Structure 1
Amino acid sequence: MVSQLSVDSGQLPAGYKQTEHWIIPEDWDVKPLGELVHSVEYGSSAKSSSSGAMPVLRMGNLQDGQVDWDDLVYTDDEAEISKYQLNHNDVLFNRTNTVDLVGKTSIYKGEFPAIFAGYLIRINRKEELLDAEYLNYILNTNQAKKYSKLILSVAVSQANINGQKLKTYPIPVPPTLEEQQLIAQALSGVDTLITSLEKLIAKKRAIKTATMQQLLTGKKRLPEFEEQSSSATRFGELFDQTISKKTISENEDVTFIGMQDVSEDARIKGTNVLPFSEIKSGFTYFEKNDVLVAKITPCFENGKGAFLDNINTQVGFGSTEFHVLRAQKGNDPQYIYQQTLLASFRADLEAEMVGSAGHRRVPLSAIENYELPVFHSYKEQVAIGKILSDMDEEIESVKNQLTKTQQLKQGMMQELLTGRTRLI
């Protein structure tokens, strides 16, 4: 795909024209949204509650161009329901939020009956001029987000774009409604794939969580180990109580991992490789195949940590807020890592934190004394670790596919919504 040319690049391909905010084909037009709609309508300002007859969509329910049906509030007010009930293909615009989030837009597809709250605007479009899905995609482009920043106003740390300003949004308009619909259908197909991949990831994660709970706690034993002992053991019996350190030369490359470099599902997001001479004293020492566990709140409760099997150096350093668990001989580091991923491990040890509010930490002694409900032999540890790590790899594979599909969608939006690629 050829990426869209910037407005100020000075380059203009044959058959295209430059407008203030878009480069579009010569047979397209750019019109203010106000010319393409009957009206824009603010939502309900009535009080809602945690239960009731009908959901009230709020700004947090607008996510990535679609409606997120989690974290709902409700109303029983029949007058509000009658006035603000949503119709299939209503486009909702978030008029008040942070500077970065104001203007986010989603389309209501009629999944469940609902009304919309006062921080949202319903766009009542002229159906013969403007396709709902096409409009939703346009208002989620980078160009639309840049325009939002040009016209928003800020008061008490909240940004606002009122209905009159919304009507000024420049909307690129193909010469026919059919072309709008074809563009929307192409992008909608990619959205369907994205949704299916997200559901597959959620399903695989749920299966992995259930499998961890069964195997790591001894509720289920692998067939070849069913006859082995079920006695409990201290977690500290599996890893070294003190971490020995190798001698490192000044010019030797080492890995550095900060707290920001690990995710809340205990994966490495990024690393830095640099000479040992550039490492300041006081950082946490670790080696390849060690396990990191965040010690400070809220990083510990949120699941931050990592298994260091894939780092590019033998030795590394990291945040002082990491505990390092190094498998003793006869114990499997992958198994130790998987134990630290259990929700019960994080929840139980949260109660062992010490220190003042905001600076509470889990002592290493609490992790050492944490009781594992069943002793697994080395061979069983390896077998369990392999099953769970294979599941992790499957999840990561689907996540990578999701990322590539999301990138594909962004490229398609730039091509189709600017007319660089025509479908008619």
Structure 2
Amino acid sequence: MEMREGYSQTEFGNIPKEWRVKSLGDVGEVKMCKRVFNNQTKQSGPIPFYKIGTFGKEPDAFITEELFNNYRQKYYFPKKGDILISASGTIGRTVIYDGKPAYFQDSNIIWIDNNETIVSNSYLYYLYQVVDYRTEGQTIQRLYNDIIKITKFICPPTEEQTAIAQVLSDTDELISSLEKLIEKKKLIKQGTMQQLLTGKKRLPGFSGEWEVKKLGDVAEIRDGTHQTPVYVDDGIQFYSVENITENNFTNTKFISLEEHKRLTKTYKIEKGDILMTRIGSIGDCKLINWDVEASFYVSLALLKIKKGYSNKFIAHLIKSYDFQKEIELRSLQWAVPKKINLGAISAIDIKIPTDVTEQDAIAEVLNNIDSDIESLEQKLNKYKLIKQGMMQNLLTGKIRLV
């Protein structure tokens, strides 16, 4: 590897000469709260008690204010701004302690009482996102104190730490603002769906009647093969529940052309059809708006929309609160995994405009909102990738800010 001017060769590769390879044990002591026993917790109370399962989420256990004050004064307790780390479960998850009264499960949630003249909390927060907790080449299942202490990292001077953390923090704020905007758009869509798909609000130019139909009246509904096919490395795509729930029709399983022909003798997926999950996950759907050559599993229902009805409208209707509530009620509650039969799907009542142009107009409004959301999500994913690249370059010294 060619040595850049002003860089030194280390076990991490070339790093700036002013930077040092350190161990987390050099930064400060590993600390944890005093153990709290189950009989000391309640389902409600003044002080939240975070266990590994609720770390970074909503608490499901609480302790008394008296116990909290006693333990906080007598034993180790994090300072505001300290970076809490999950030491079990999904190891290495982080939460910045905000200083509000709360207590944390011993040994499962820890922190380093770091000397900020060596490493600042703001820099440590990003360092924890990339640090490699390994011992003797093996991925570890639990963060023991000794593993944390020997974990090595590259440490820039404090001035550079501040600059790096500020740039990454600014990027996080941009990502957070996009996430909030996406959530706002989704709420707007939910409200719009509730108004337009029920007829409570009419689009300009439409005043025709709405009618109640069974879903089976407006769509021919079938399911996929009941037999697990023989999968091959390459061939004809084979769709299952995961493709719908993850909205991923690129990474699919494959079957042979011969088997595909056999499975599609009677009916097949065509452009304009709707696929809906009915086993495991129920009620997720996808409008097939591309030229398709694929087979599908029994866990999916295929809806072929009849003439005089809008497939786009029906696809949005399936995603509505009322339809989802109805499909949940009609599912086989005792079945594991969850399941709804084709007959039950066909029997669901739907309210629909008699004028197909109104159906299409409503679908167009909702499609436009979906397009806005999709555009924002693409932008969000782009910035997340940019941040990953920034961290890779900034935390290794490949790009300098000072």
Q: Identify the match of residue 332 of structure 1 among 298, 310, 319.
A: 310
Q: Identify the match of residue 126 of structure 1 among 100, 105, 115.
A: 115
Q: Identify the match of residue 386 of structure 2 among 391, 408, 418.
A: 408
Q: Identify the match of residue 236 of structure 1 among 210, 216, 219.
A: 216
1:320 aligns with 2:320: no
- Whole-Å separation in 1 of the counterparts to 2:143 and 2:159: 30
- Aligned 8 A contact 1:332 1:381 in 2: yes
Q: Identify the match of residue 79 of structure 1 among 67, 73, 95.
A: 67
Structure 1: gaps of 5 or more residues: 1-9, 63-67, 154-158, 244-252
Deviation of residue 172 (structure 1)? 1.3
- Aligned 8 A contact 1:15 1:25 in 2: yes
The 5-angstrom pairing of residues 48-59 of structure 1 reads 48-59=41-52
1:380 aligns with 2:358: yes
Superimposed CA distance per residue, residues 80-117 of structure 1 (whole angstroms, 9 cap, x where no aligned partner): 245166432111111111xxx2122332344x443322
How many residues matched? 380
Deviation of residue 72 (structure 1)? 5.3
Distance 1:367 1:382, change over 3 A: same
Distance 1:86 1:219, change over 3 A: farther
Two-structure CA RMSD over aligned residues (Å): 2.9
- Aligned 8 A contact 1:238 1:331 in 2: yes
Structure 1 counterpart of 2:15: 24
The 5-angstrom pairing of residues 105-124 of structure 1 reads 105-110=94-99, 112-118=100-106, 119-124=108-113
Distance 1:33 1:55, change over 3 A: same
Q: Identify the match of residue 358 of structure 1 among 336, 356, 371.
A: 336
Query: Secondary structure, in 3 states, of the residue corresponding to 2:134?
Result: helix
Deviation of residue 43 (structure 1)? 2.5
Deviation of residue 21 (structure 1)? 4.5
Query: Secondary structure, in 3 states, of the residue corresponding to 2:110?
Result: strand
- Aligned 8 A contact 1:294 1:304 in 2: yes
- Aligned 8 A contact 2:32 2:77 in 1: no
| Residue identity in the other structure for 1:53 | P
Structure 1 counterpart of 2:231: none
| Residue identity in the other structure for 1:140 | Q
Q: Identify the match of residue 258 of structure 1 among 240, 254, 260.
A: 240
Structure 1 counterpart of 2:82: 90
Structure 2: gaps of 5 or more residues: 224-234
Structure 2 counterpart of 1:167: 149
The 5-angstrom pairing of residues 25-44 of structure 1 reads 25-37=16-28, 39-44=29-34
Superimposed CA distance per residue, residues 230-273 of structure 1 (whole angstroms, 9 cap, x where no aligned partner): 44222222223579xxxxxxxxx965433222226xx3453559
1:45 aligns with 2:35: yes
- Whole-Å separation in 1 of the counterparts to 2:322 and 2:14: 54
Deviation of residue 69 (structure 1)? 4.7
Query: Secondary structure, in 3 states, of the residue corresponding to 2:390?
Result: helix
- Normalised by the size of structure 1, how large is the TM-score? 0.80
- Aligned 8 A contact 1:215 1:384 in 2: yes
Identity among equivalent positions (%) equals 31
Query: Secondary structure, in 3 states, of the residue corresponding to 1:59?
Result: coil
- Normalised by the size of structure 2, how large is the TM-score? 0.84
Distance 1:11 1:52, change over 3 A: farther
